[in-house]
């Protein structure tokens, strides 16, 4: 993305699905309470020719079509093929949007749907083509493989998109289950319980899965992928058969979002139950139950209280990383926060450090629920 760049893509828990924040490439500026440029999911009319965003609407669309959403979750960008993937959780589907050549939003009408045979169905299913609560994504750009966490089926689906996409296409492989028709939750090396966020490390061919067993599973895909294969490492637990919550330097309590920064070899994990984000340094490899290197949202590794402040957090859930400017974006789901925190990691990272900006609120101590009409048109390229 060269001229007008997508700086942060944020999916809300409601149906104001997606906000696009752009920045002038020279300044890459952010301001507290910065208005959105555009959105997907709420319009003045469900007509492909008049999809003008309405920021004061927020009703779920459970009568599925190509325009509306119901409890959208994560997104993923395929910058090489100019595609955006959006998890439409309650409609049990993944929507695929075609982007412009500079990876800005093209049409707000999705081009394809996964998990359903068409745009007008939303039936949950446990099979090779179906889904039940898609949540998180990871994308392997080298092989054009899309990984989708399928929460209620306790599994991660892999789609091979190297030959293109078609509506309702079948997944190629499944993790967390031995086959495509099983959906039991397990605390084992091969099993999962309500997987949420995903991250992919292209350099070491590793897949990270935030598992509701209070752990992050790490899969080594260097030798390929097989249905129901074992994870090779685990974070948050000392072994693969433990799942207890802990507010410690090695423990986790309801991890949800994960992102991997290849330049620094750091893994970021939102730890909602302890109101914090843990940062793991993987430059020397990964080991079972290894210590986190830093914590954000708390002053130390044994504190877990919630706070709507510049250093505190309330139920952090989503996470995104801007590698160009070394900025970390953290979304909070608490009804007392309703914001996205921005941390500048370009210099020294320290535990309990201040966020530098906040989005969704005018300051760091406000957490008011709001559907704003504020709109900022895109800035022209330099």
Give which of 136, 235, 228, 149 is closest to 182, Cα–Cα: 228
Q: How many contiguous H segments (helices) and E segments (strands) does the chain have?
A: 0, 23
* pLDDT of 10 higher than 60: no
Supply the mean pLDDT for the chain: 88
Query: Within 13 Å of residue 316, how many CA atoms lie on the same side as its CB?
Result: 34
Residue 102 lies in a domain: yes
Q: What is the CATH number of the domain that holds 227?
A: 2.120.10.30
Span 80-90, average pLDDT: 95
Provide the domain limits for residue 316.
5-359
pLDDT band at 118 (very low <50, low <70, confident <90, very high): very high
| Count of domains observed in the chain | 1
**Mean pLDDT across the stretch 116-142?**
97
Q: How confident is the model at residue 6 (pLDDT cuts 50, 70, 90)?
A: very low
pLDDT in tens, 236-256: 999 999 999 999 999 999 999
- What letter would DSSP give residue 274? G
Question: Is residue 366 a part of any domain in this protein?
Answer: no
pLDDT digits 0-9 by tens, 131-140: 999 999 999 9
List phi, psi (to 5°) of 360. Answer: 95, -10
pLDDT band at 53 (very low <50, low <70, confident <90, very high): confident
Cβ-proximal residues to 243 (8 Å cutoff; 6+ apart), any chain: 187, 193, 213, 214, 215, 237
Residue pLDDT, tens place only, 267-322 = 999 999 999 999 999 999 999 999 999 999 999 999 999 999 999 999 999 999 99
**How many whole angstroms separate alpha carbon 258 and alpha carbon 316?**
11
Q: What is the pLDDT of residue 107?
A: 84
Residue 372 in domain: no
pLDDT on residue 25 = 44
Is there a domain that residue 75 lies in?
yes
Of 36-50, 141-155, 186-200, 232-246, give the lowest mean pLDDT range: 36-50
Cα–Cα dist 37/35, whole Å: 7
Residue 376 is assigned to a structural domain of this protein: no
Question: Is residue 263 domain-resident?
Answer: yes
* Sheet containing strand 316-322, strands side by side: 316-322, 327-332, 340-344, 357-359
């Amino acid at each position: 993305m060269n001229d007008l760049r997508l700086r942060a893509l944020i999916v809300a828990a409601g149906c104001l699905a997606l906000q696009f924040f752009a920045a002038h490439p020279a300044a890459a500026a952010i301001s507290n309470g910065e208005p959105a440029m555009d959105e997907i999911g709420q319009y003045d009319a469900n007509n492909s020719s008049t999809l003008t965003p309405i920021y004061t609407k927020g009703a779920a669309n459970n009568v599925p079509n190509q325009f509306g959403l119901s409890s959208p979750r994560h997104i993923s960008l395929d910058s090489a093929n100019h595609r955006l993937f959006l998890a439409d959780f309650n409609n049990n589907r993944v929507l695929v949007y075609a982007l412009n050549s500079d990876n800005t939003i093209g049409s707000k009408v999705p081009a394809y749907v996964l998990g359903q045979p068409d745009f007008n169905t939303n039936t949950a299913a446990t099979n090779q083509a179906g889904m039940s609560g898609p949540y998180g994504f990871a994308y392997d750009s080298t092989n054009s493989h899309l990984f989708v966490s399928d929460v209620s089926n306790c599994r991660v689906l892999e789609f091979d998109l190297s030959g293109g996409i078609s509506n309702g296409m079948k997944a190629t492989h499944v993790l967390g289950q031995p086959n495509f028709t099983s959906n039991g939750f397990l605390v084992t090396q091969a099993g999962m319980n309500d997987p949420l966020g995903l991250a992919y490390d292209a350099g070491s061919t590793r897949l990270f899965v935030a598992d509701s067993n209070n752990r992050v599973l790490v899969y080594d895909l260097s030798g390929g992928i097989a249905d129901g294969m074992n994870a090779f490492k685990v974070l948050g637990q000392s072994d693969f058969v433990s799942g207890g919550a802990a507010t410690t330097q090695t423990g986790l309590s309801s991890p949800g979002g994960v992102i991997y920064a290849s330049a620094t070899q750091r893994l970021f994990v939102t730890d909602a139950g302890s109101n914090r984000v843990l940062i793991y340094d993987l430059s020397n490899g990964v080991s079972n139950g290894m210590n986190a290197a830093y914590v954000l949202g708390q002053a130390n590794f044994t504190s877990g209280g919630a706070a709507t402040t510049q250093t505190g957090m309330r139920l952090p859930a989503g996470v995104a990383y801007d590698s160009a400017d070394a900025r970390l974006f953290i979304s909070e789901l608490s009804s007392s926060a309703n914001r996205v925190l921005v941390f500048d990691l370009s210099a020294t990272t320290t535990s309990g450090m201040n966020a530098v900006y906040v989005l969704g609120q005018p300051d760091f101590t406000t957490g008011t629920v709001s559907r704003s009409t504020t709109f900022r048109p895109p800035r022209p390229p330099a």
